[in-house]
């Protein structure tokens, strides 16, 4: 095969993959608030989404290659070609950001007083794109999940669904494009945006990156020392009937007085004619504070505390809370050890608080790949007797 | 040379990951509680996690619905299918009506209703449903095959580049 023919074949494959991937696979799952250890207080330089997560910019890919993964003694001043989309095999036109994300896990749970259970889970298989046309932005993702993520499902099967977690169109405003006005399905701007979607601060405030995104209009503003976003929530139009859709607002503002410290406030109020959980008209109020702090290069502390108040029309009120404190220690570049403590109370009458602890090891062992192991011990408070469970979770994550 | 090897290795790793963990593999894992409820009660559709939990992901510590709490009261614990069968049998024997609407929970499930909807909800109210498309994705094996082929193509493309 001649060089020209080979080059054409590789390019054709790249284009074909770019077209096919979004049809078969969904959304990026990287959101590492501990990147503040490198002085990154805002998310916009590296992520297409100004509040974090989503497709990576070219700069974000480069920083991921230089700062995130183990380098094994190699020169880390310049990013390697493998940092690019599809390891640089398929050139991507300027203004187009493509990505893909596969995360598989082995889960073992040992509840108190019951046998342990193990299972394999495909947590995520996503493809996504972000296209920049001058000031116009068009972004979206498409993927597949064998189970769960019903809130982002496009198809109606009880399992094996196509999902689209985000899809939006927006326009960048301002001399430095510091504003982004967008409409579509967008992650709720609230609290710390992290990949641990089962943390209670994410569950209780319904703000995870798995399937809690909502349709609506959002305005984001991002500068070095301040970032903020407010979203008018029109509801999740991938759920029906309409009575279950939450409507209201969600917002946060974060201020970074130094390059190693950021403190933010979050707030959301939504109303649903029929709440998904309680099946009655419900007003949900969530308000909280969060912070990121790196007192020493290798160490980052993340904290969040949220109050959640639910007014269940004609069925009483619930005032609860969720909180977490996480320490991330990067022992050597690419190798992290994490310790997380969390607590919550759903607010039911007589409900005891729940407590949890996570011990995490994370290794970005190669370009576009990492492994992660979590040991999670949780004590679940309830109206009745409390119970506990020990969970072991091993994940292999690769992205294109 | 080192870059080529690194690129080849990385491409192969992704291809292997795609081949080893095609999307459909998750469906071969142990049946979940919703599937067991469907099979045990011979329901026409699999209930969502919202039957018992406060979120579509389910998870420990999130059982809040009347039906879910009844099941826990009858011995249901996490990740123990035996306790699920026992709890369902007890509910059937007791004609348990968790939401107090006059229809036993299991009869309500069999009729396609919601055992958590309570007496205040009209019979014509629709249950929560997900998705936009008119039909479900029928055969995930097609997806598996596509991803495996994609992985193989990545490996081949990488090898051809290396030879060049």
Confidence class for position B136, pLDDT limits 50, 70, 90 = very low
Q: Is B49 near chain A, with CB under 8 Å?
A: yes
pLDDT per position as a tens digit, A36-82? 888 888 887 888 888 888 788 888 888 888 888 888 876 667 888 88
Domain boundaries, chain B: 2-117+151-163
Pair of tokens at residue A36:
């503040």
- Asked if A366 and B13 come within 8 Å (Cβ–Cβ), the reply is yes
What is Dmax (Cα atoms) for chain A?
76
Q: Is B70 near chain A, with CB under 8 Å?
A: no
DSSP line for chain B: -HHHHHHHHHHHHHHHHHHHS-GGGGGGSPPPHHHHHHHHHT-SSPPPGGGTBSSTT--TT-B-SHHHHHHHHTT--TT-HHHHHHHHHHHHHHT--TT-SSS-HHHHHHTT--TTS-TTS-TTPPPPEE-SSSS----HHHHHHHHHHHHHHHHHHHHHHHH-
Q: Is B101 near chain A, with CB under 8 Å?
A: no
- Asked if B78 and A116 come within 8 Å (Cβ–Cβ), the reply is no
**Most B-contacting residue of A61, A150, A188, A238 (CB-CB within 10 A), to test interface:** A150
Average pLDDT, chain A: 87
In Å, how far are A24, A212, A396, B14, B108 from A369, measured between CA atoms? 20, 26, 8, 8, 47
Domain that holds residue A104: 3-399
For residue A122, the distance in angstroms to the closest alpha carbon of chain B comes to: 5
| Cα–Cα dist A110/A115, whole Å | 6
B-chain CB neighbours of A144 within 8 Å are: 23, 137, 140, 143
Q: What is the pLDDT of residue B159?
A: 63
Q: Is B131 near chain A, with CB under 8 Å?
A: yes
For residue A257, the distance in angstroms to the closest alpha carbon of chain B comes to: 36
For residue B29, the distance in angstroms to the closest alpha carbon of chain A comes to: 6
Greatest mean pLDDT among A84-88, A203-207, A265-269 lies in: A265-269
- Asked if B21 and A400 come within 8 Å (Cβ–Cβ), the reply is no
- Asked if A24 and B117 come within 8 Å (Cβ–Cβ), the reply is no
What is Dmax (Cα atoms) for chain B?
75
pLDDT per position as a tens digit, B39-73? 888 787 788 888 888 777 676 667 778 888 888 87
Name the residue in chain A with its Cα closest to that of B17.
A398
Confidence class for position A217, pLDDT limits 50, 70, 90 = very high
- Asked if A81 and B158 come within 8 Å (Cβ–Cβ), the reply is no
B-chain CB neighbours of A153 within 8 Å are: 130-131
Name the residue in chain A with its Cα closest to that of B10.
A367
Q: What is the pLDDT of residue B26?
A: 34
pLDDT per position as a tens digit, A285-314? 999 999 999 999 899 999 999 999 998 887
Q: Is A121 near chain B, with CB under 8 Å?
A: yes
Q: Is B4 near chain A, with CB under 8 Å?
A: no
Q: Is A59 near chain B, with CB under 8 Å?
A: no
pLDDT per position as a tens digit, A332-356? 999 999 999 999 998 888 888 999 9
- Structural domain total, chain A: 1
- φ, ψ for residue A304, nearest 5 deg: -150, 140
- Asked if B60 and A162 come within 8 Å (Cβ–Cβ), the reply is no
Q: How many CB pairs under 8 A join A and B?
A: 239
* Alpha-helical regions (H) of chain A: 3-24, 58-63, 200-204
For residue B88, the distance in angstroms to the closest alpha carbon of chain A comes to: 17
Confidence class for position A24, pLDDT limits 50, 70, 90 = very low
Instruction: Kindly state the average pLDDT of the residues A24-29.
Output: 38
Q: What is the pLDDT of residue B16?
A: 44
Q: Is A310 near chain B, with CB under 8 Å?
A: no
For residue B92, the distance in angstroms to the closest alpha carbon of chain A comes to: 23
Please check whether residue A111 is in contact with residue B78, taking contact to mean a CB–CB distance below 8 angstroms.
yes
CATH of the domain at A103: 2.40.160.10
Q: Is A280 near chain B, with CB under 8 Å?
A: yes
pLDDT per position as a tens digit, A127-170? 999 999 999 999 999 999 998 888 999 998 888 899 999 999 99
Name the residue in chain A with its Cα closest to that of B52.
A277
Per-residue pLDDT for A10 more than 60? Answer: no
Q: Is B24 near chain A, with CB under 8 Å?
A: yes
């Amino acid at each position: 095969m001649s060089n020209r023919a080979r080059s054409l074949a590789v390019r054709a494959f790249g284009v074909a993959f770019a077209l096919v991937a979004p049809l078969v696979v969904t959304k990026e799952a990287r959101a590492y608030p501990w990147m503040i250890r490198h002085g990154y207080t805002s998310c916009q330089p590296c992520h297409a989404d100004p509040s974090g997560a989503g497709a990576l910019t070219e700069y974000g890919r480069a920083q991921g290659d230089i700062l995130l993964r183990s380098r094994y003694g190699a020169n880390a001043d310049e990013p390697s070609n493998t940092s690019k989309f599809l390891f640089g095999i398929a050139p991507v036109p300027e203004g187009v950001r493509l990505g893909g994300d596969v995360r598989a896990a082995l889960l073992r749970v040992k509840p108190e007083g019951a046998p342990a259970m193990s299972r394999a889970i495909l947590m995520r298989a996503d493809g996504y794109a972000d296209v920049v046309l001058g000031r116009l932005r068009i972004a979206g993702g498409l993927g597949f999940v064998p189970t769960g993520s019903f809130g982002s499902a496009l198809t109606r099967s009880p399992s094996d669904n196509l999902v689209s977690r985000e899809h939006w169109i927006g326009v960048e405003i301002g001399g430095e494009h510091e504003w982004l006005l967008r409409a579509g399905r967008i992650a709720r701007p609230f609290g710390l945006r992290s990949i641990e979607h089962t943390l209670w601060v994410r569950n209780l405030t319904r703000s995870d990156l798995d399937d809690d995104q909502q349709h609506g209009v959002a305005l984001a503003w991002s500068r070095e020392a301040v970032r903020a976003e407010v979203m008018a929530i029109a509801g999740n139009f991938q759920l029906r009937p309409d009575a279950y859709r939450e409507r209201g607002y969600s917002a946060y503002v974060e201020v970074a007085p130094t390059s190693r410290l950021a403190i933010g406030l979050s707030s959301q109020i939504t109303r649903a004619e029929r709440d998904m959980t309680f099946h009655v008209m419900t007003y949900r109020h969530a308000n909280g504070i969060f912070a990121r702090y790196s007192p020493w290069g290798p160490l980052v502390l993340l904290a969040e505390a949220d109050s959640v108040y639910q007014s269940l029309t004609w069925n009483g009120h619930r005032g609860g809370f969720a909180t977490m404190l996480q320490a991330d220690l990067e022992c050597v570049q690419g190798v992290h050890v994490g310790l997380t403590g969390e607590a919550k109370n759903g607010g039911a009458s007589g409900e005891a608080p729940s407590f949890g602890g996570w011990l995490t090891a994370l290794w970005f062992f190669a370009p576009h790949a990492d492994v992660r192991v979590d040991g999670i011990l949780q004590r679940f408070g309830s109206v009745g007797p409390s119970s506990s469970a020990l969970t072991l979770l091993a994940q292999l994550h690769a992205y294109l | 040379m080192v870059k080529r090897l690194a690129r080849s290795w990385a491409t192969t790793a992704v291809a292997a990951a795609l081949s080893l963990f095609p999307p459909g593999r998750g469906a071969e894992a142990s049946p979940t509680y919703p599937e067991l409820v469907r099979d045990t009660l011979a329901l026409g559709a699999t209930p969502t996690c919202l039957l018992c939990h406060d979120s579509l992901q389910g998870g420990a510590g999130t059982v809040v619905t009347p039906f879910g709490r009844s099941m826990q009261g009858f011995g249901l614990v996490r990740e123990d299918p035996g306790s699920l069968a026992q709890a369902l049998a007890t509910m059937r024997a007791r004609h348990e009506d968790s939401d107090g609407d006059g229809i036993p929970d299991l009869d309500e499930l069999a009729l396609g209703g919601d055992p958590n909807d309570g007496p205040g909800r009209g019979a014509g109210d629709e249950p929560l449903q997900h998705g936009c498309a008119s039909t479900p994705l029928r055969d995930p094996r097609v997806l598996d095959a596509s991803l495996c082929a994609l992985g193989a193509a990545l490996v081949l493309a990488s090898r051809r580049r290396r030879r060049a």
